């Protein structure tokens, strides 16, 4: 079993002039990088780490945006034998005070020896440190790193690392995604890439096109490590550029004949709504063969909307495929849609919410459309279990559990959290779902579940209903439960960000949300809280941070003197 450094060296020696990464930046020429340039730039950073006192096996925290410095800093840590840990950059979606607290917490838990960042962010980093008390020996500013150099492979510590050694840290998604560092070995990652590449029918001709952030599994594994280590061309742009101009993804696919991309569900809606015809002139999407919907609950309507918007530009419906993934399994646990069409079924709503059984829909009864996430990839097994860890029959909702040869080594320096996450050698995902003949369906996160009068309500179902109301945009609503002592169950609250400041228009939209939820679900909303732009708290991967939004809502109610 190879290590990262050995694999990079092999590419460097066999195909030094092959372009491995092309970096796109708005307003700048595209920046191709060959394996020779990658290894030379990484060797410069490896020397910087050595001079800064970083030893093989030490953690290096990287706070950089997509670009040449990120590329060199990350793979430089690997060549040096250090453990890179990419952290989110502070954005308007993240609360600054929360971000700083999480950075300080990250330092205390993962004990990095060095932090790499930009000159303009250096003060922010140093403000979270406690000189003489924490582990950080150096804050490495990108413009002070050593320049490219010919790598001396015999001297680099990465070549003394073993397959079972930790290669990287990923961070599980939370308000800023720093709560738990997922430690992954070289062996686990290569097992994942081998199995996943087999399922995807990956060839050397595949071209990956991505805008995904690198501090979570979908961006880091599927759209960073996989193409670079497997020898595929990666075309990558900044998520900041993508969100401002999502058409750039389509233009990049067309220009570079992209075949592989990964998108969270919200991105399908976002692209379908925001991309204009004037930005698609000459675009050809016929090369796209697999666009995997993962990272959040999959909506059939999102696939349809995306296809309808781009079908006239060569997009094939069968290119829209699905998966279920998590950092703890390196990335993919399941994949669907590659060798057969994506599976979906209409389920009786009442049976799912009350009995926790996914019975097929019946005429005259309200239904919910569920999209299958595919079947387990090779090397991974999936079960659905009850509260005591016992297997449940098909169509019975329980917690999804995994066992694989690409499982995390553990949560870094958190043996307590690691122990709680397993029953024997089965990892408890925290996701609720059910299976049908090996097909995995995810119904929601365990921690987000709302229980109203004995009914299990998944907040994303209510949020989806809200998005159908004109004036409410996908990704800009958050539903959660607040326990009501008087009635002994939870009340349901919906917070929705609106563009309009007009009181009459806001009231009309709030009434529309109430009606849509009442009509489309088994619950009624106790309260609809309409707010302005940027009110909602998001995770670093762009997901709705429901617990943080609940806390923010309750704090506002308290400040207004409103009991809740």
Same domain, 433 and 471: no
User: Which pair of structure tokens corresponds to residue 349?
Assistant: 């709503």
Verify that 396 and 468 share a domain, yes or no: no
What lies within 8 Å, CB to CB, of 255 at 6+ separation is: none
CATH code at position 455: 3.30.300.30
Q: What letter would DSSP give residue 360?
A: B
Where residue 356 sits, what CATH number does that domain have?
Answer: 2.30.38.10
Residue 544 lies in a domain: yes
Tell me, yes or no, whether 26 and 71 share the same domain. yes
359 in a structural domain:
yes
**Which of 446, 477, 493 is at the close of a domain?**
446
Within this chain, do residues 26 and 101 fall inside the same structural domain, yes or no? yes
288 found inside a domain:
no
The secondary element (H helix, E strand) that includes residue 236 is strand 233-237
383 plus 502 within the same structural domain: no
Residues 112 and 230 in one domain: yes
Domains of the chain: total: 3
Pair 91, 234 in one domain: yes
Pair (439, 509) in one structural domain: no
DSSP code per residue over 43-99: HHHHHHHHHTT--TT-EEEE---SSHHHHHHHHHHHHHT-EEEE-PPP-TTS-HHHH
User: What secondary structure does DSSP assign to 164-208, as a single string?
Assistant: TSEEEEEE--SSSS-S-EEEEEHHHHHHHHHHHHHHHT--TT-EE
Write down which residue in 394, 420, 446 finishes a domain: 446
171, 178 Cβ separation under 8 angstroms: yes
Q: Round to whole Å and give the CA distance between 93 and 550.
A: 16
Does residue 299 fall inside a structural domain?
no
User: pLDDT truncated to tens, each residue of the chain (564 aa)?
Assistant: 799 999 999 999 999 999 999 999 999 999 999 999 999 999 999 999 999 999 999 999 999 999 999 999 999 999 999 999 998 877 665 667 777 777 888 888 899 999 999 999 998 899 888 888 889 999 999 999 999 999 999 999 999 999 999 999 997 654 334 557 999 999 999 999 999 999 999 999 999 999 999 988 999 999 999 999 999 999 999 999 999 999 999 999 999 999 999 998 889 988 999 999 999 999 999 999 999 999 878 989 999 999 999 999 999 999 999 999 999 999 999 999 999 999 999 999 889 988 999 999 999 898 999 999 999 999 999 999 999 999 999 999 999 999 999 999 999 999 999 999 999 999 999 999 999 999 999 998 888 888 887 677 889 889 989 999 999 988 899 999 887 766 677 889 999 999 988 999 999 999 999 999 988 887 889 889 999 988 998 876 667 888 888 889 988 888 887 766
Q: Please indicate, yes or no, whether residues 420 and 469 belong to a single structural domain of this protein.
A: no
Find the domain containing 544 and state its range.
Answer: 449-559
DSSP strand pairing (290-293 vs 260-263): parallel
pTM of the model: 0.87
Is 351 among the domain residues? yes
* DSSP H stretches of helix in 389-502: 415-420, 459-467
Contact 492, 525 (CB under 8 A): yes
Q: Is 289 among the domain residues? A: no
- At 44, which CATH number? 3.40.50.12780
Same domain flag for 11 and 129: yes
Residues 434 and 477 reside in one and the same domain: no
Indicate the residue among 221, 244, 267 that finishes a domain.
Answer: 244
Indicate if 118 and 172 belong to the same structural domain: yes
Q: In this structure, how many other beta carbons lie within 10 angstroms of the beta carbon of residue 356?
A: 18
Query: What does the chain come to in residues?
Result: 564
For residue 213, being part of any structural domain is answered with yes
């Amino acid at each position: 079993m190879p290590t990262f450094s050995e694999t990079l060296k092999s590419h460097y020696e066999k195909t030094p002039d092959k372009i491995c990464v092309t970096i796109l930046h708005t307003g700048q020429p595209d920046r191709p990088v060959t394996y020779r340039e990658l290894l030379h730039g990484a060797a410069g950073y490896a020397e910087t780490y050595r001079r800064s006192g970083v030893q093989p096996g030490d953690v290096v925290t990287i706070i950089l945006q997509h670009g040449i410095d990120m590329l060199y800093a990350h793979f430089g840590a690997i060549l040096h034998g250090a453990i890179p840990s990419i952290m989110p950059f502070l954005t308007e979606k993240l609360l600054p005070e929360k971000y700083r607290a999480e950075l300080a917490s990250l330092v205390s838990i993962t004990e990095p020896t060095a932090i790499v960042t930009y000159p303009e962010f250096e003060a922010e980093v140093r403000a979270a440190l406690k000189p003489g008390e924490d582990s950080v020996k150096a804050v490495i500013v990108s413009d002070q790193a050593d320049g490219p150099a010919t790598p001396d492979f015999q001297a680099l510590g990465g070549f003394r690392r073993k397959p079972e050694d930790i290669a990287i840290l990923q961070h599980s998604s939370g308000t800023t995604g720093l709560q738990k560092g997922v430690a992954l070995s070289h062996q686990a990652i290569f097992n994942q890439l081998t199995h996943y590449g087999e399922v995807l029918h990956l060839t050397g001709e595949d071209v990956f096109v991505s805008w995904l952030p690198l501090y979570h599994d979908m961006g880091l594994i599927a759209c960073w490590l996989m193409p670079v280590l497997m020898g595929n061309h990666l075309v990558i742009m900044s998520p900041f550029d993508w969100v401002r101009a999502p058409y750039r993804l389509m233009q990049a696919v067309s220009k570079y004949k992209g075949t592989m991309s990964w998108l969270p569900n919200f991105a399908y809606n976002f692209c379908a709504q925001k991309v204009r015809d004037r930005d698609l002139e000459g675009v050809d999407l016929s090369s796209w063969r697999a666009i995997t919907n993962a990272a959040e609950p999959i909506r059939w309507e999102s696939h349809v909307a995306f296809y309808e918007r781009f079908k006239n530009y060569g997009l094939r419906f069968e290119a829209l495929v699905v998966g279920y993934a998590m950092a703890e399994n390196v990335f993919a646990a399941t994949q669907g849609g590659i060798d057969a069409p994506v599976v979906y079924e209409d389920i009786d709503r009442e049976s799912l919410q009350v009995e926790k059984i996914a019975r097929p829909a019946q005429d005259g009864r309200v239904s919910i459309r569920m999209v299958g996430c595919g079947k387990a990839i090779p090397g991974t097994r999936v079960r659905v279990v009850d509260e005591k860890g016992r297997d449940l029959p098909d169509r019975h909702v329980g917690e999804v559990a995994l066992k694989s040869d690409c499982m995390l080594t553990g949560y870094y320096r958190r043996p307590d959290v690691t122990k709680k996450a397993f029953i024997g050698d089965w990892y408890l995902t925290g996701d609720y779902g059910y299976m049908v003949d090996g097909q995995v369906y995810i119904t929601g996160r365990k921690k987000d579940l709302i229980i109203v009068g004995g009914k299990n309500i998944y907040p994303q179902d209510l949020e989806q209903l809200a998005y159908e109301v004109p004036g409410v945009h996908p990704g800009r609503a958050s539903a959660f439960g607040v326990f009501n002592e008087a009635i002994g169950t939870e009340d349901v609250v919906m917070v929705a960000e609106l563009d309009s400041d007009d009181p009459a228009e806001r009231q009309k939209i709030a009434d529309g949300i109430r009606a849509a939820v009442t009509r489309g679900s088994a619950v009624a909303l106790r309260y609809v809280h309409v707010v302005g732009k940027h009110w909602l708290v998001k995770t670093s991967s762009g997901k709705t941070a429901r617990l943080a939004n609940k806390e923010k809502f309750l704090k506002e109610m308290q400040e207004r003197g409103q009991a809740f």
